[in-house]
Structure 1
Amino acid sequence: MVKTVLKIDGMMCSMCESHMNDLIRNHCKVKKVSSSAGKGETVVISENELDLAMLEKEIEGIGYHLLSSHAEPYVKKGLFSFGK
């Protein structure tokens, strides 16, 4: 699994976060997506890497700007992983 952090300019409120989450869900096969207007980022957990060129175009299409992105392997933490 892959964790991708998208830095996005233009999100101002919870409705902006909702629009961004919907856009990501509609264009990519994801396990989880969450956005934060305060942090200016969207975090996506997916099986495969995202098509960033397509996402940048779609994000621009709804009035936001993709500033940067960072992908890293994601390992799900289990219930008893807190002591490791």
Structure 2
Amino acid sequence: MIKITAKIDGMACGMCEAHINDAVRRAFNVKKVTSSYSKGETVILTEEDLEEEKLKEAINGSGYKVLSVKKESYEKKGLFSFGRK
């Protein structure tokens, strides 16, 4: 799984978060997407890597500006993952 964190400029409220989440879901098949206007970021969890330019197009097209994109490997850490490798 891949965790993609995009720094976003222009979010000011919960509706802004919803607009970005909807734009990402419309453009890509993702496991989870959450946005935070207070942090100025959107976090996406996906099985397959997303093309950075297409991600920027999807978010910028909804009226916001992507400042940066960071990708990293993601492993779910939950109560029952203890002891697994």
| TM-score normalized by the length of structure 2 | 0.89
Mapping of residues 49-68 of structure 1, within 5 Å: 49-68=49-68
Mapping of residues 1-84 of structure 1, within 5 Å: 1-81=1-81
Q: How many residues align?
A: 84
The superposition leaves residues 30-80 of structure 1 with CA deviations (integer Å, 9 ceiling, x where unpaired) of: 111100000000000000111210121222222110000101000011314
Q: Which runs of 5+ in 1 are unaligned?
A: none
Displaced runs of 4 or more, over 6 A: none
SS in 1 for 2:31: strand
Give the Cα–Cα distance (whole angstroms) in 2 for the partners of residues 57 and 26 of structure 1.
12
Give the Cα–Cα distance (whole angstroms) in 2 for the partners of residues 23 and 62 of structure 1.
7
User: Could you tell me the percent identity over the aligned residues?
Assistant: 54
- What RMSD, in angstroms, separates the aligned Cα atoms of the two structures? 1.7
| TM-score normalized by the length of structure 1 | 0.90
SS in 1 for 2:42: strand
Amino acid aligned to 1:77: K
Give the Cα–Cα distance (whole angstroms) in 1 for the partners of residues 69 and 55 of structure 2.
11
